[in-house]
Amino acid sequence: MGYYVSAHAETFGVEVTPNCTEIMDAYRNPLLMEKARRNGIRTNEYRLITSAKSEINAPAVLFAVNPFTNNSMKVVDSDSNLPGMIKKMSMGARFPVSLHPLTGEVLEITQMFGESTNEETSGFTKRFYEVFNIPICKLVVQIDDGGVVLNHCEPAMKKEVKWDIVHDKMREIKQEL
């Protein structure tokens, strides 16, 4: 429903955060990756595929890029499991799958106005919020020797959000206004 609120506001000339372009840029995996790259947020060499290819290897983290799936992350550890998982997630090659190499520890964190549910990633979520302007979302990242790598963004569920942080941030924003 948030998308409609943004669209409604934009149509009637009201400034809105996030706007529809920002929402789409964050929640469609290839667009997320490209915007992150352009803004210096670390990503890894993701690939869009619809079927298994010989040059693709496990371990990998896969995300479905289709209209139907949320919470689609799958970690595949062995090469033999890749073709089956890609076939399933692509719905028989109908939709692309975004494949990211697994290079570190996979974490799911919630970003709230630049704050993180995970202290280790607080600098990363601050930068993410500056670039993407999404007030609350879930991020899938990997932590490796070089720091935090962005893999995916999707809407956060209510239970995944620290509402005390959100309320504090809302108060700050109101005061600034």
Partner 1 sequence: MKIACFVEAYNFDLKSEQSALLKFKSTAESMGHSFEFIFKDDISKISDYNALFIRATTDPSSCAYIVSRLAEQSGLKVIDDPHSIRTCSNKVILHDIFQKNNIPSPGSILFYGDYSPENIDGIFKSLGYPVIIKTPYTRFSSHVEKASNVAEFIEISKHLLRKAKVLVVQEYVQSDFDWRVGILRNEVIYLCKYCIPKGGWKVKSKINGKNVWGDTIAVPRDSISPELKDISITLSKYVGNGLYGLDVKETNEGYKVIEINDNPSIYDGFEDVIDKDIYEKIITELIS
Q: Is 20 one of the binding residues for partner 1 (CB under 8 A)?
A: yes
125 φψ region: left (φ > 0), alpha (ψ -120 to 50), beta (else)? alpha
Q: Is 101 one of the binding residues for partner 1 (CB under 8 A)?
A: no
Based on CB atoms, which residue is closest to partner 1, 36 or 109? 36
Restricting to residues 57-86, which ones interact with partner 1 according to CB under 8 A? 65-67
Query: Among 22, 43, 47, 122, which residue interacts with partner 1 (rule: CB under 8 A)?
Result: 47
Q: Which of 152, 115, 118 is nearest to 136 (CA)?
A: 115
Residues forming beta bridges with residue 136, ordered by sequence position: 112
In whole angstroms, the minimum distance from the beta carbon of 45 to partner 1 comes to 11
Q: Which residue has the tokens 């010989």?
A: 54
Query: Among 48, 157, 170, 173, which residue interacts with partner 1 (rule: CB under 8 A)?
Result: 48
Binding site for partner 1 (CB under 8 A): 1, 4, 7-8, 11-12, 20-21, 24-25, 28, 30-31, 34-35, 38, 47-50, 65-67, 95-96
